[in-house]
Amino acid sequence: MKNTDMRKIRKAMEKAQDAKRYEHTLGVAYTATALAMRYGASLKDAEMAGLLHDCAKCLTDEKRLAICEKHNISINEIERRNPFLLHAKVGSYLAMDEFHVTNSDVINAILNHTTGRPGMSLLEKIIFIADYIEPNRKQAPNLSQVRKMAFIDLDQTLVVILKDILEYLESTEGEIDPMTRKTYDYYTGKGEGNE
Ligand code: FE
Ligand code: FE
């Protein structure tokens, strides 16, 4: 990965996203890079995954559904009703197809950034958490503590964030992707497959 490639990706995101989304993208990229410094992950992979994680967020629902259908990407019931949820799946596809990302860890970090999954890699955790704590986020509860905690204990931070997401979705009667709960149960030790 050359520096010019990173610059190209940044430029492409600036073009594809509205100003607010692009600020969020940059926030996730540098927050992920800082977390990568703290936990010894690849800084370049963190920056790349951060820049690309929402690359399919500014597409229309129709476009996201069309990309899935064209490339045989499975759509579950919940995604069918809420196609914005597909931005992670479609984003990971575009990362490979349009931005020629071949590193599977980067692709997985994009794919799993909204729900997490049991047994996440270090990079997947970093992107999931950076997405939630980057400086442009304002609404989430306990943000200042969560931000501090992210630089102390990643797994504990995951649990706090997942709990907030589940509580928020329950209070708004938003639809919950079952994977979010699975991830939560796994990291609280309630899930299957825990040692
Ligand atoms: Fe996202
Ligand atoms: Fe995001």
Domain encompassing residue 17: 3-139
CA gyration radius for the chain? 16
Give the model's pLDDT for residue 190.
80
What distance in angstroms lies between residue 132's CA and the mean position of ligand 2's atoms?
8
pLDDT band at 51; cut points 50, 70, 90: very high
Output the CA 106–ligand 1 centroid distance in Å: 14
Say which residue the tokens 């476009």 belong to.
63
DSSP label at residue 114: T
Domain CATH for 27 = 1.10.3210.10
How long, in residues, is the chain? 195
How far apart, in whole angstroms, are the C-alpha atoms of residue 55 and residue 14? 10
Tell me, what's the pLDDT at 192?
A: 64
115 belongs to a structural domain: yes
Tokens of 71: 């490339």
pLDDT at 1 over 90: no
In a domain, 118, yes or no: yes
- Ligand nearest the Cα atom of residue 132: 2
Confirm if 99 and 52 have CB atoms less than 8 A apart: yes
Q: For 190, which DSSP code?
A: -
Q: Which residue has the higher pLDDT, 20 or 3?
A: 20
Any idea which residue has 């040692």 for tokens? 195
Spacing, Cα 114 to ligand 1 middle (Å): 6
Q: What is the pTM of this model?
A: 0.94
In a domain, residue 95? The reply is yes
169-189 pLDDT, tens digit each: 889 888 888 899 999 999 999
- Tell me which ligand sits closest to the C-alpha of residue 137: 2
Ligand 2 centroid–CA 138 distance in Å is: 13
Residue 88 within a domain: yes
Span 73-109, pLDDT tens digits: 999 988 899 899 999 999 999 999 999 999 999 999 9
pLDDT at 194 over 60: no
Q: Are 154 and 39 in contact (CB under 8 A)?
A: yes
Work out the end-to-end distance of the chain between its first and last CA atoms, rounded to an integer number of angstroms. Answer: 36
**Domain contains 144:** no
Q: Does 193 fall in a domain? A: no
Residue 8 falls inside a structural domain: yes
Write the single-letter amino acid at 81: R
pLDDT at 163 over 60: yes
Average pLDDT over residues 9-34: 97
User: Is 97 within a domain?
Assistant: yes
Centroid of ligand 2 to alpha carbon of 137 (angstroms): 10
- C-alpha pair distances (Å), 78 with each of 84, 85, 184: 10, 8, 19
Q: Which ligand is nearest to the CA of 29?
A: 2
Q: Cα-Cα-Cα-Cα dihedral of 60, 61, 63, 67, to 10°?
A: 140
* Structural domain total, the chain: 1
Among the bound ligands, the one closest to the CA of 32: 2
Give the three-class secondary structure for 87: helix
pLDDT (0 to 100) of residue 176: 84
CA of 13 relative to ligand 1 center, distance in Å: 13
The alpha carbon of 195 and the centre of ligand 1 are apart by a number of angstroms equal to 30
